[in-house]
């Protein structure tokens, strides 16, 4: 969990089980975020101008949640929005995930986190929660009659708790 110490120093403390779970989740998220577009055959000018991105929303509901339509009522505008923004958004998500993963390397049970690393952790945890929530079909309209013993729900709640401790530590 995240805590603020003396002088506002932010720390993250995890036990071995938490470290293992987060490491696995970050690796799975990394695989999910891998750019599906093969660099071979991409027009260099289009790539330089950031015009080589996908124009279609993903058929994977989790990726569709991470990269939603910009204009749900205009297919052409949505395609253009996606073409010009998805690659950068994907890169930002991968960078945040990489920073979070990096803080877990050579883990000794507790680590100091900088302000920028905290922001990247927030992004990575949020993305994990969005993907897991989509996979578990958690919605705002969902009633409370879901199976609380479902392991995925426990994992979702843990990520929510971890994100909450980070937010509390930053405020």
Within 10 angstroms of residue 159's Cβ, the number of other Cβ atoms is: 20
Domain membership of residue 156 as a residue range: 2-36+44-170
From CA 110, how far away is CA 164, in angstroms rounded? 18
Give the model's pLDDT for residue 39: 47
The number of domains in the chain is 1
Mean pLDDT of 41-49: 59
Query: pLDDT, tens digit, for every residue of 122-132?
Result: 999 999 999 99
CA distance 69 to 153: 27
pLDDT value at position 82? 79
Partner residues linked to 111 by β-bridges: 12
Cα–Cα distance for residue pair 121/142, rounded to 1 Å: 27
Given pLDDT bands bounded at 50, 70 and 90, which one contains residue 98? very high
Q: How far apart are CA 122 and CA 125, in angstroms?
A: 5
pLDDT digits (tens, 9 = 90+) for 106-145: 888 888 899 899 999 999 999 999 999 999 888 776 655 5
Higher-confidence position of 98 and 6: 98
The predicted pLDDT at position 46 comes to: 59
Percentage of the chain modeled with pLDDT above 90: 40
Residue 58's nearest CA partner among 29, 80, 36 is 36
With a cut of 90, say whether residue 41 has pLDDT above it.
no
Chain centre distance of CA 1: 18
Alpha carbon 155 to its chain's center: 15
Buried/exposed code over 49-83 (b: 16+ C-beta within 10 A; e: otherwise): eeebbbeebbeeebbeebbeebeeeeeeebbbbbb
């Amino acid at each position: 969990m995240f805590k603020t110490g003396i002088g506002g120093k932010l720390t993250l403390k995890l036990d071995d089980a938490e470290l293992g779970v987060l490491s696995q989740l970050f690796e799975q998220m990394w695989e999910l975020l891998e750019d599906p577009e093969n660099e071979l055959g991409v027009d260099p000018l289009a790539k330089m101008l950031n015009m080589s991105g996908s124009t279609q929303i993903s058929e994977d509901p989790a990726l569709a949640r991470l990269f939603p339509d910009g204009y749900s009522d205009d297919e052409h505008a949505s395609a253009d929005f996606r073409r010009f923004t998805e690659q950068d958004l994907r890169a930002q998500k991968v960078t945040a995930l990489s920073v979070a993963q990096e803080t877990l390397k050579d883990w000794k049970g507790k680590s100091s986190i900088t302000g920028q690393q905290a922001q990247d952790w927030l992004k990575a945890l949020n993305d994990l929660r969005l993907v897991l929530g989509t996979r578990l079909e958690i919605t705002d309209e969902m009633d409370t009659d879901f199976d609380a013993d479902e392991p995925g729900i426990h994992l979702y709640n843990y990520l929510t708790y971890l994100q909450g401790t980070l937010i509390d530590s930053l405020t």
